[in-house]
Structure 1
Amino acid sequence: MKYSLRQLEVFLAIAHHDNITKAANSLSMSQSAASSALKDLEDQFDIQLFDRVGKRLQINELGRLMRPRAEALLDQARGLESELMQHQTPGQLKLGATLTIGNYLAVELMAAYMAEHPSQRVTLEVANTSAIIEKLTNYELDIGLIEGEANNSNLEFIPWLEDELVVFCSPSHPLAMKSVISDQDLQEASWILREQGSGTRQAFDWAMRGFLPRFTILLELQHTEAIKRSVKAGLGISCLSRIALEESFANGSLVELNVAHRNLHRQFYLVIHKQKYRSAGIERWLAMCTNPDQFQV
Structure 2
Amino acid sequence: MRFTLRQLQVFLATARFENVSRAAESLAMSQSAASGSLKELEQQFEVQLFDRLGKRLQLSELGRQLRPRAERLLAQAQDFEAALNTEEVSGALRIGATLTIGNYLAVPMIAAFRERYAEADVALQVANTETIAGQVADFELDLGMIEGELNHPRLETIHWREDELQVFAAPDHPLAGNAPVSDEQLIAQRWIVREPGSGTRQTFERAMHGILTDLNISMELQHTEAIKRAVEAGLGIGCLSTISLKEAFERGSLVPLNIPHRDFSRQLNLILLRDKFHTATLDRWLSLCRETAQ
TM class, shorter-chain normalised?
A: over 0.9
Q: Normalization by structure 1: what TM-score? A: 0.93
Deviation of residue 90 (structure 1)?
4.6
Deviation of residue 275 (structure 1)?
2.4
Structure 1 unmatched ranges of 5 or more: none
Taking the aligned partners of 1:196 and 1:292, their CA distance within structure 2 comes to 28
The answer as to 2:199 corresponding to 1:203 is no
Cross-structure match for 1:218: 218
Deviations 1:169-221 (A, max 9, x none): 11222222571111111111111110111111111111112221111111111
Opposite residue 5 of structure 1, the aligned amino acid is L
Q: Normalization by structure 2: what TM-score? A: 0.94
Over the residues paired in the alignment, what is the CA RMSD in angstroms? Answer: 1.8
Alignment of 1:180-199 (within 5 A): 180-199=180-199
Give yes or no for contact 1:90–1:279 (8 Å, CA) kept in 2: no
Per mean C-alpha deviation after superposition, the further-off stretch among 38-47 and 11-20 is 38-47
Cross-structure match for 1:267: 267
Deviations 1:3-32 (A, max 9, x none): 222112111111111111111111111211
Stretches of 4+ moved more than 4 A in 1?
none
Per mean C-alpha deviation after superposition, the further-off stretch among 213-222 and 169-178 is 169-178
Give yes or no for contact 1:90–1:284 (8 Å, CA) kept in 2: no
Taking the aligned partners of 1:57 and 1:90, their CA distance within structure 2 comes to 31
Give yes or no for contact 2:149–2:199 (8 Å, CA) kept in 1: yes
Per mean C-alpha deviation after superposition, the further-off stretch among 198-207 and 120-129 is 120-129
Alignment of 1:120-269 (within 5 A): 120-177=120-177, 179-269=179-269
The alignment partner of 2:81 has SS state of helix
Taking the aligned partners of 1:110 and 1:218, their CA distance within structure 2 comes to 36
The alignment partner of 2:260 has SS state of coil
In 2 relative to 1, CA 151–14 (structure 1 residues): closer, same or farther, beyond 3 Å? same
The alignment partner of 2:159 has SS state of strand
Taking the aligned partners of 1:292 and 1:172, their CA distance within structure 2 comes to 36
Structure 2 unmatched ranges of 5 or more: none
In 2 relative to 1, CA 127–28 (structure 1 residues): closer, same or farther, beyond 3 Å? same
Per mean C-alpha deviation after superposition, the further-off stretch among 79-88 and 213-222 is 79-88
In 2 relative to 1, CA 37–165 (structure 1 residues): closer, same or farther, beyond 3 Å? same
Taking the aligned partners of 1:113 and 1:10, their CA distance within structure 2 comes to 29
The alignment partner of 1:175 has SS state of coil
Opposite residue 234 of structure 1, the aligned amino acid is G
The alignment partner of 2:120 has SS state of coil
May I ask how many residue pairs the two structures share in their alignment?
294
Identity %: 54
Alignment of 1:85-100 (within 5 A): 85-100=85-100
Cross-structure match for 2:30: 30
Opposite residue 272 of structure 2, the aligned amino acid is I
Deviation of residue 91 (structure 1)?
4.2
